[in-house]
Chains A and B, each alone.
Chain A
Amino acid sequence: MSWHFFPPLPAAKMTVEIQIQQQDFDYAHEYQLLRGDSPDAGAIVCFSGLVRDLNLGSQVEKLVLEHYPGMTESVLQNLLEQARQRWDIKRAKIIHRVGELTLGEQIVFVGIASAHRKDAFAACQFLMDLLKTQAPFWKKEVSDQGQTWLDQRESDLDQEDAWEK
């Protein structure tokens, strides 16, 4: 599922896309899309999150990602709107995969194109930090210890709190 969101004010021109999908994504292609058609962006920051082999001491085999269709998109759209109010953003893209993901696979992509690097870095980190604590995704880890739904981490909540200043 994906859609484009164009805010009503021309002064706040920003192109935003959110995709929740099972299939993988092409990081290089996403970067090219963020470059866009006009030379208005002087900085692009992209983040991707991957399935890591070790988590809390157990040997991970794969992750199963579940989400709440509809609410996920509206939470992410809301976070993008908050980011737009805080920083200058020309283009933004969030991709989050769901379903079964094996070791080393890409899970999530957040990319920001902005006039300046400070805005691009900050907006990208803000979106990742709040995605982790607010967007309704759940990870189940399949490891040599069996299947476990992961718990929310205190450190992730601390990262969220840090943006409220």
Chain B
Amino acid sequence: MITILYFARLREQLGLEREQFELGQATTVAAIKSELCQRGDLWQQSLTADNILVAINQQLSQNEDQVQAGDELAFFPPVTGG
């Protein structure tokens, strides 16, 4: 089981801030993404936008990076602070 967080525009689009996710066969960010995308068009469009960033345990990561049970995964748009 992992925790997935969604922020900002993505959180509003999906209507979801956080969830617990059963890893199953998926062990990379890309595989988790493609499982999430099967939830429907909204998920497909929101998560596959090419500027969506991902962090594993609060470190910026890449689609091919490994995810392990207990990890905290976060998806978010490009940052706009300051």
Contacts and interface: CB of A to CB of B under 8 A. Distances in A.
B79 A140 contact: no
A67 B81 contact: yes
Contacts of B80: 132, 137-139, 149-152
A140 B74 CA distance: 19
A43 interface: no
Nearest to A136: B79
Nearest to B5: A68
A71 B74 contact: yes
Contact of A108 (B12, B76, B78, B82): B82
Q: Chain B interface residue count: which class?
A: 10 to 19
A115 interface: no
Interface residues of A, number: 27
A140 B76 CA distance: 14
Interface string A121-165: 000000010011111111110000000011110001000000000
Given A70-B58, A71-B58, A74-B58, A133 B9 contact: no
Contacts of B79: 132-138, 152
A151 B78 CA distance: 7
Contacts of A136: 7, 55, 76, 79, 81
A142 to B, nearest CB: 13
Contact of B9 (A96, A134, A135, A149): A149
Which 3 pairs of residues, A with B, have the shortest CB-CB distance?
Answer: A137-B81, A138-B8, A71-B58
